[in-house]
Amino acid sequence: MPLIDTHCHLDFNAYDGLRDEIVAEAAASGVTRIINPGTDLDRSRAAIALAETYPGVYAAVGVHPNSTAGFSPAHLAALRDLAAHPKVVAVGEIGLDYYWDDSPKDVQWAAFEAQLDLAAALGLPVIIHNRDASDDVLAVLGAWAAALPAALRERPGVLHSFSAPQSAAERGLALGFYVGFTGPVTFKNADDLRHIAARVPADRLLVETDGPFLTPHPYRGRRPNRPAYVRFVAERLAALRAIPYDDFAAQTTANAERLFAHLGGA
């Protein structure tokens, strides 16, 4: 049963020299499509270049909160141009990160809002990064979602690699967001995260690797994480929710296709 790795940084240099092998391995294991999010302008261009190289790879374009220092209207204009590429399926990854202090909060906030507005103008969903910033992320998303055109209100985006409290998941779901889970949901000490994952409606779940990071059990700690390993995330979630693996895989694939409407066929 095919799966989509909805978030892998295939452009990162952790994959240099490995990409052909890793994309082929993924396809052979049923992971026929991979979404490569951008983290700054150069990385967004690199993601698009990989989407042009590999039929199953798609791109998102955006500036990650840790890279927002110096964010300007010129960045926004460049992102708008990049987003016109037919294999761009989302704006991301964007959001707020209060764990690292690479960029001041007010700068992160302004870049986040500007990119959300761009996504709304382009009719693209957003891929949201949130680290230790749940209240502010949900406040910004709440204001944004309220003003969305109807078509995007049903598929505004995903809270990617979810690692926040249950209340943040509930607030995001209430706004129409999907919730993406990564390797940590397979970790031995992750009962709290599994508790949250078990309560996300079946039609709002996504699976991702966030490669090269967050390698799931049983390969935890091994780098780089590989899109083929998204299967371990899906297997753990299917078991947790007590549904057959093939049904779960079909459901999350359908969810990804609904959210990222520009995804082409497998």
The binding site for Zn ion (CB under 5 A) comprises 210
In the complex, the smallest distance separating the C-beta of residue 93 from Zn ion, rounded to whole angstroms, is 5
Q: Within a 13 Å sphere around the CA of 152, how many CA atoms are in the beta-carbon half?
A: 23
Q: Is 228 helix (H, G, I), strand (E, B) or coil?
A: helix
- φ and ψ of 94, to 5 deg: -130, 165
In the complex, the smallest distance separating the C-beta of residue 266 from Zn ion, rounded to whole angstroms, is 23
Q: Of 91 and 148, which CB lies nearer to Zn ion in the complex structure?
A: 91
Q: Of 11 and 210, which CB lies nearer to Zn ion in the complex structure?
A: 210
In the complex, the smallest distance separating the C-beta of residue 7 from Zn ion, rounded to whole angstroms, is 6
Q: Of 3 and 93, which CB lies nearer to Zn ion in the complex structure?
A: 93
Characterize the bridge pairing of strands 126-131 and 88-97: parallel
Q: How many CB atoms lie within 10 A of CB 81?
A: 9
d(CA 134, CA 25): 35
Which stretch of DSSP H or E encloses residue 210? none
Q: Of 5 and 210, which CB lies nearer to Zn ion in the complex structure?
A: 210
Characterize the bridge pairing of strands 157-159 and 31-36: unpaired
Which stretch of DSSP H or E encloses residue 143? helix 134-146
In the complex, the smallest distance separating the C-beta of residue 58 from Zn ion, rounded to whole angstroms, is 14
d(CA 119, CA 116): 5
Q: Of 97 and 210, which CB lies nearer to Zn ion in the complex structure?
A: 210
Q: What CA dihedral angle connects 99, 105, 111 and 117, to 10 degrees?
A: 100
In the complex, the smallest distance separating the C-beta of residue 39 from Zn ion, rounded to whole angstroms, is 7
